[in-house]
Chain A
Amino acid sequence: MSNFWIILWHTYLSKLKSKSFIITTLITLLLVAGLTNMSRIMDLFNKGDENEEKIAVIDETGELINPLMEQLKLNNSSILIESFKGTVEEAEKSVIENAYEGLLILSFNEEKLPEAAYKARSIADTSLPSELQQYLQQMKTQLAASHINLTQDQLNKLYEPISFSKTALEENAKTEEELNQARGLVYVLLFIIYFAVLMYANMIAMEVATEKSSRVMEILISSVSPVKQMFAKIIGIALLSLTQMVILFVVGFYFVKKNLESMQGGFFEFFGFNDIPISTIIYALVFLLLGYFLYATLAAFLGSLVSRIEDVQQMIMPMTMLVVAGFMIAMFGLGQPDTSFITIASYIPFFTPMLMFMRVGMLTLPVWEPMIGIAILIITIIILAVFGAKVYKGGVLMYGKSNSFKDIKKAIQLTKNE
């Protein structure tokens, strides 16, 4: 087996068996399991909550409580109201004693329209009073309407929402429904690209810095060329990341499949998980890999410049900023993916992985656009690799206070054969 493969497998296996990798994978798995089972988990907790939402009502008018009950029933609300026989003080006392969630006092104002006051132990829970307020608002509207002799039909006409449809004229443009679906999917995939690029590039920089600071590097480079080493390591970590993602994907897919019925509507439909367009996934994978190689090469040569592990974070800070900036622009661009700012930014190599993917996912681009993006990425990776390998070769031999970018020049000089 050639040295390249020995290093590749060593990097892959030793990382795979490391405690930190196993623990992060397990935690992420729990997260994925939790997220995909969200609706079940929510149901579990909500069951306990329902019984408690009992509200005492003191109806000073004697006419309002029944319409309110009807209104609640009509809306399938989980709020339970009970007419309280007694004074306001007594009612307040029983609220404090936990017999009721809150106290609602209903009355009429001068114009004979309903008025309400809500009292509870604390008003931190805003959803319950606002739900009540909403029902009371509907009641008020009906009452007010009947005061000015409007029929229910007339009222409905007033409140009917305007019909407003959006149609894209461009050929193949995505319909609104498709856009919403795409947005959700792209959103999630962008997150994955962001985290993966940041995490694994970090891992590379740490790996290189560890070997350097423990000085094992000098032995390594006396048996294998630094460039071979660098790429073996980058590919080894790439394999590792793929392993991790396949595990997460398989588990996530299993849960999504299992819970699919309970997920009709709501969260998952919104995120467009019902029919996933294959091309989006393929583009995500391509841009993820290219983004990884781009940043991993950068991280490897930045990592080779520091002598102490403590300095790694400082050294790769500019790189991290680039990733974060790309992510921020992509997030901003999700709402308006066709602005020229986003279009231009998507051709800047360090932003391409996220931005071009976002555009491909959201818009209907001609094929050549992502292809140019991919080409730009590949060319940048090659340039970075050639340049990075030079820096790496000198950098791994440089020790001492090396935290500045001046060291890049010094490192190249070290490898130069004047």
Chain B
Amino acid sequence: MGLQLEHVTKRFGKFTAVDDLSISIPEKEMFGFLGANGAGKTTTFRMILGLIDASEGKITWNGNSIDYSTSPLIGYLPEERGLYPKLKVKDQIVYLARLRGMQKQDVIKELNYWLNRFKVPEYADKKVEELSKGNQQKIQFITAVIHKPKLLILDEPFSGLDPVNVEQLKDAVLELKDKGTTIVFSSHRMEHVEEMCEHLCIMHKGKPVVKGTLKEIKRAFGKKNLVIHADFDLEFLKSHPGVTNARQTTEGIHLQISGEEIAEDVLKEIVGKGFIRKFVLEEPSLNDIFIEKVGASYE
């Protein structure tokens, strides 16, 4: 069951923000959303949360529609961080968690656990505006997960964080996943999605252009990357049949080829021409797929 989106469309007047999106996210899985700004990710999240109604289609969680009665089951980390700047961390988490159906004493207990986990127990009595942006984000994350939601929606959870904090947060997300939370998240860092999600969807102008499991997507993409480092000039390979893209580096060349068999041809071509230090056939990265499908760099 899990989260089901069936032919979901959202129109704002004449503008179609999300166009016929169907996704099935199994329970206890992690699902990644990719897409440039304006691709419809946040609109999709808002529809899942029930903040706005879909123009067409149906969204269900384990067969039930999502509304305010299910809000204790759902955790949400919005893209734009939002906390009361003048309120103490403890007060606002207690307030927001109570709105998700928690009891005050449970909130305090959980809050202490999370603050200790993020190694910032001294923040409980500080005002949010006194914290750094990265630390505010930790508080925001705690707000989203403190009530142990079954479905967690993270909109760009790692943006604006330093690498140490990214690791801390990533560990926390993975731990939640292991505990059985279904997680939907969007990120502009391809490697995060690649590393963490089994299922993903690339959105472009409201339409899902690629979706499925990571392996399927890569296999379906067909194209592979070929990295060659050699002591002689490799530029002539650019016009080799089957090479769809090429980029010269200081040590050699990166080729994008339309299939594995091309690699064999290329190898035959260069053998004997000189010393080859590296010849690697790689799976395409998500970034390559993204650029190919969306037609522009994500960042």
Contacts and interface: CB of A to CB of B under 8 A. Distances in A.
Interface of A: 1, 3, 6-7, 10, 14, 210-211, 214-225, 397, 399, 413-415, 417-418
Contact of A215 (B12, B82, B99): B82
Interface residues of A: mostly helix, strand, loop or mixed? helix
B71 A223 contact: yes
Contact of B76 (A6, A210, A219): A219
Contacts of B50: 222
Contacts of B68: 223-225
B117 interface: no
B51 A6 contact: no
B193 interface: no
Nearest to B103: A1
Contact of B82 (A218, A225, A418): A218
Contacts of B49: 222
B110 interface: no
A6 B104 CA distance: 11
13 contacts: A210-B84, A211-B84, A215-B82, A217-B82, A218-B78, A218-B82, A222-B50, A222-B76, A222-B78, A223-B100, A397-B46, A399-B80, A413-B13
Interface in B88-111: 91-92, 95-96, 98-100
Interface of B: 11-13, 46, 49-55, 68, 71, 74, 76, 78, 80-85, 87, 91-92, 95-96, 98-100, 143
Given A214-B84, A214-B85, A413-B13, A219 B51 contact: no
B52 A414 contact: yes
Contact of B80 (A14, A211, A215): A215
Contact of B74 (A7, A222, A418): A222
B11 to A, nearest CB: 6
Nearest to B48: A222
B51 A221 contact: yes
Instruction: List 10 A-B pairs, minimum CB-CB distance, nearest first.
Output: A215-B82, A216-B82, A417-B53, A223-B99, A215-B80, A218-B78, A223-B71, A418-B55, A222-B76, A222-B49
B12 A413 contact: yes
B76 to A, nearest CB: 5
Given A6-B98, A14-B87, A224-B99, A397 B80 contact: no
Contact of B55 (A1, A14, A397, A417): A417
A85 B84 CA distance: 78
Contacts of A6: 95, 98-99
A418 B54 CA distance: 8
A219 B98 contact: no
A201 to B, nearest CB: 21
A397 B74 CA distance: 19
Contacts of A397: 46, 51-52
A211 B99 CA distance: 15
Contacts of B81: 215
A10 B85 CA distance: 15
A219 B149 CA distance: 14
A415 B12 CA distance: 9
A225 to B, nearest CB: 5
